[in-house]
Chains A and B, each alone.
Chain A
Amino acid sequence: MNPVQTIVAKELRSYFVSPVVYVIGAIFLAMVGLLAYSTVASASNQALRLMQIQNTYAQLNLNELLFRPLFRSMNLILIIVIPLLTMRLFAEERKLRTFELLLTSPIGINEIVSGKFMSVLVIYSGMLSLTTLIPITLSAYATFDWRPVYLGYFALLLQGGLMLGIGVLASSLTENQIIAAFLSFGMILALWMTGALSSAMGETPLGHILAYLSFTEHFERLIRGLLNLKDVLYYLSGMAFMWFATHQVIDSYRWK
């Protein structure tokens, strides 16, 4: 095992011996399930009404009526769920003084940060993959276009990855887990808000920059089934930035 794998293995072990990850996972899945159910219900109601009015057989567009709103809602749920997943990563190491062990071991800070990030990415991917039961189940009863669904999951993976990066950074800034959770929640919210701010700015240069910074646009294009390199790059560069910032924060502990 290389050092990164060692850290990932240890983190996964730590996650699974604590009840927190099960609780978070259960809440996430319950919320997504409930949302999916109510979205399907309202979509079929709508279809029924259409049929009564027009007296024809209405073909439901599940991509538009179900998956797009569902993905958007999942994105919102992540704003709450992700900070709870990442808060312990570095804050706990600082609190318990185990950082002294990591930083005096022959492993690099880059390996520590990568290991932590990858471990929580594994947890998140696991949670996300469980929700694929929704499209898989629905595909037995209805037909829809798979491409936007694939891309929607791809978008959620990237979106989650970026938020996890923010959470990891926040966790490195404090030794208090609650503060870490609120910090990442705040930072994610701020990044989201730049979208709203940008629409207020309109077609000004600053407006464009803010729109680019917010994840709303990038996410929206992906869940509509449009794969653009610049959207993918947005997420990847965001994650790289968070990784780098965390690295710097940890490096700076030692200089205090």
Chain B
Amino acid sequence: MIEVQEVTKRYGTFSALDNISFSIKKGEIVAFLGPNGAGKTTTMRIITGFMPPTSGTIRIAGFDGLASPMAIKKQIGYLPETPPLYLELTVQEYLTFVGRIKGLDPAQLLSRMDKIIEQTGLKEVQGRVIGHLSRGYRQRVGLAQALIHNPPVLILDEPTTGLDPNQIIEIRDLIKNLAGSHTIILSTHLLAEATAICQRVIIIHKGKIVAIDTPEQLSAKLQQSETLSLTVEQTYPDFALELGRLPGVLAVTQGTSPNSFMLETQQGRDIRSEVTKFIVSREIGLLEIKAQPLTLEDAFKVLTKESPADR
């Protein structure tokens, strides 16, 4: 549905995007993850046709970005970083305007309007002037304008910033519900958000793609070593030492309580059953043992860490 090929974007001599390529299938939800200045917004602006790339090509739904910009614009609903709101208009007037410039005819507009206002929770404020709305509501109006023409592709630049925790959950649910029927790219700084909503994550750093993968696989790939956490009913003085002598265990550290331990184990070697056998043989009561997955948080830190050569 979305194909980005070898796209480079320079602002003057500064390279904001450096030869990035990826493709997104119909119905997928993908997150752009990256720190400030990574190039997320720039990538989105290029995909939406707001600005052309310095080099490279974009294809959306089979249309080429350069050859048929209008066809592409019809396919896309876009929520920019700053919601593009006319503060003097009411929510309804604004959505009517957006619907019209997106090419809806009056009948379509009428049927979409109620649906979108319902979906984005704008019912009670639909007659109010946008300039008088709170930030969270403005963000919703921004989302509503991206959805009004029911576009197959949604590009959402940080859709949940400025919302309170309840609203964040609502908006995430809304986005999740749109998946399948829509192809969605959203950008975020929050790893939890990417994992919660998206099927794939594209990690961008300094204008380059550092990784593209599912949230789980990404963490698996990144693990330099795996961690097991275990809790027992009782211990004895040399227990930790003996644990450390088990094959495949690299280090043992005390967990949060005296009876829990963290084992650093060699990568790619699942030794849970060996550890279990050992503890059972000592008859000290195994309460819990589990592999501790590396969170995307950790993955992100590792992947976007500057390598010494960069400095």
Contact = CB atoms under 8 A, between A and B. Distances in A.
Interface of A: 1, 3, 6-7, 9-10, 13-14, 17-18, 96-108, 254-256
Nearest to B49: A104
A14 B48 CA distance: 26
Query: Per DSSP, are chain B's interface residues mostly helix, strand or loop, or mixed?
Result: loop
B93 to A, nearest CB: 7
A97 B97 contact: no
A103 B51 CA distance: 9
B101 A254 contact: no
Given A18-B88, A99-B84, A101-B78, 7 more contacts: A6-B101, A14-B89, A100-B45, A104-B78, A105-B98, A105-B101, A256-B51
Given A10-B86, A96-B87, A101 B100 contact: no
Nearest to B69: A106
Interface string B30-55: 00000000000000010011111000
B80 A13 contact: no
A129 B57 CA distance: 52
Given A3-B101, A13-B93, A254 B50 contact: yes
Contacts of B51: 254-256
A96 B85 contact: yes
A194 B49 CA distance: 41
Interface string B59-74: 0000000000010011
A100 B301 CA distance: 32
23 contacts: A3-B101, A6-B97, A6-B101, A10-B86, A17-B88, A18-B88, A97-B80, A98-B86, A99-B84, A100-B50, A100-B80, A100-B84, A101-B78, A101-B84, A104-B50, A104-B76, A104-B78, A105-B73, A105-B98, A105-B102, A106-B101, A106-B103, A255-B52
Contacts of A18: 88
Given A96-B85, A96-B86, A98-B84, A106 B102 contact: yes
- In this complex, the member of B76, B93, B100 whose beta carbon has the largest number of chain A beta carbons within 10 angstroms is B100
Interface in B174-204: none
A14 B86 contact: yes
> Looking at chain B, what size class is its interface with the partner chain?
20 to 34
- In this complex, the member of A1, A7, A18, A103 whose beta carbon has the largest number of chain B beta carbons within 10 angstroms is A103
A6 B95 CA distance: 12
B50 A98 contact: no
Nearest to A115: B101
B139 interface: no
A96 B70 contact: no
Contacts of B145: 101
A101 B52 contact: no
Contacts of B161: none
A129 B103 CA distance: 34
Nearest to B99: A6
B86 A6 contact: no
B225 interface: no
A98 B85 contact: yes
B11 interface: yes
B162 to A, nearest CB: 14
A256 B49 CA distance: 14
A124 to B, nearest CB: 20
Nearest to B93: A13
